[in-house]
Amino acid sequence: MSRRHRPELALVALLALLLPLDAGAEEPPPNILLIMAEDLGPRLGAYGDPIAKTPNIDRLAREGVLYERAFTTAGVCAPSRAAIIMGVHQNTWGAGHMRTYRGGYLAVPPPDMKAFPELLRAAGYYTVNAGKTDYQMSTTLQGAFGGPFTIWDDTSGSNWRGRAEDQPFFAYMTLGITHEGQLWPIMTWPPGLMETLTLPMRLWTRWQWIGETDPRTVPIPPYYPDNPVVREDLARLYNNIEAMDAQVGELLAKLEEDGLADRTLVIFTTDHGDGLPRGKRWPYDSGTRIPLIVRWPGVTDAGSVEAELVSGVDFAPTLLRAAGLPVPDHVQGRVFLGPDKESEPGYVYAARDRMDAHRDRVRSVRDRDFLYVRHLIPDQPYVLPIEYRNQLPMMVELQRLHEAGALTGPPALWFRETRDAEELFDTRDDPHQVRNLAGDPAHADRLATMRRELDRWLEASGDLGLLEEEELRKRFWPGGEQPVTAAPRHEQSPGRVGLSSASAGASIGYRIDGGPWRLYTGPIPVGAGAEITAKAVRYGWAESDEVDIELP
Check: CB of residue 235 under 8 Å from CB of residue 2: no
Q: What is the mean pLDDT of residues 125-139?
A: 95
Measured from the Cβ of residue 427, the count of other Cβ atoms closer than 10 Å reads: 18
pLDDT tens digits, one per residue of 211-239 = 999 999 999 999 999 999 999 999 999 99
Check: CB of residue 149 under 8 Å from CB of residue 543: yes
Peptide bond just before 190 cis, omega within 30 deg: yes
Give the per-residue SS3 of 329-351: CCCCCCCCCCCCCCCCCCCEEEE
* 319 Cβ contact list (under 8 Å, min separation 6): 32, 34, 116, 120, 170, 265
Q: What is the mean pLDDT of residues 391-402?
A: 95
Angle in degrees, CA 360, 464, 349, rounded to 5: 75
Length of the chain: 552
Q: Rounded to whole angstroms, how far apart are CA atoms 370 and 367?
A: 6
Residue 365: strand pairing partners: 349, 372
Beta strands in 162-234 (DSSP E): 169-175
- Percent of residues, the chain, with pLDDT higher than 90: 86
- Percent of residues, the chain, with pLDDT higher than 70: 94
Confidence of residue 94 (pLDDT cuts 50, 70, 90): very high
What Rg, from alpha-carbon coordinates, does the chain have? Answer: 24
Measured from the Cβ of residue 470, the count of other Cβ atoms closer than 10 Å reads: 11
Q: Which of 263, 261, 259, 285 is nearest to 272 (CA)?
A: 285
pLDDT tens digits, one per residue of 137-194 = 999 988 899 999 999 999 987 889 999 999 999 999 999 999 999 998 877 666 677 7
Q: Which residues does the annotation mark as catalytic?
A: 77
pLDDT for residue 377 is more than 90: yes
Residue 268: strand pairing partners: 35, 293
pLDDT tens digits, one per residue of 481-509 = 999 999 999 999 888 999 999 999 999 99
Q: Rounded to whole angstroms, how far apart are CA atoms 477 and 461?
A: 22
Whether the CA torsion 210, 216, 219, 224 is positive or negative: it is positive
* Backbone φ and ψ of 549, nearest 5°: -120, 115
pLDDT for residue 408 is more than 60: yes
Q: Rounded to whole angstroms, how far apart are CA atoms 463 and 513?
A: 45
Q: Rounded to whole angstroms, how far apart are CA atoms 491 and 75?
A: 47
106 torsion bin: left (phi>0), alpha (psi -120 to 50), beta (else): beta
Range list of H helices, 177-227: 193-208
Q: Which of 453, 415, 417, 413 is nearest to 436 (CA)?
A: 413
* Backbone φ and ψ of 390, nearest 5°: -75, -5
pLDDT tens digits, one per residue of 420-479 = 999 999 999 999 999 999 999 999 999 999 999 999 999 999 999 999 999 999 999 999
Confidence of residue 345 (pLDDT cuts 50, 70, 90): very high
Angle in degrees, CA 384, 387, 390, rounded to 5: 80
Check: CB of residue 144 under 8 Å from CB of residue 133: yes
pLDDT for residue 20 is more than 80: no
The residue with greater pLDDT, 530 or 304, is 304
Distances (CA, A) of 519 to 62, 172, 305, 409, 488: 38, 18, 39, 56, 13
- DSSP class of 440: -
* 184 Cβ contact list (under 8 Å, min separation 6): 195, 198, 202, 391, 392, 393
Region of poorest pLDDT, from 111-125, 197-211, 285-299, 325-339: 197-211
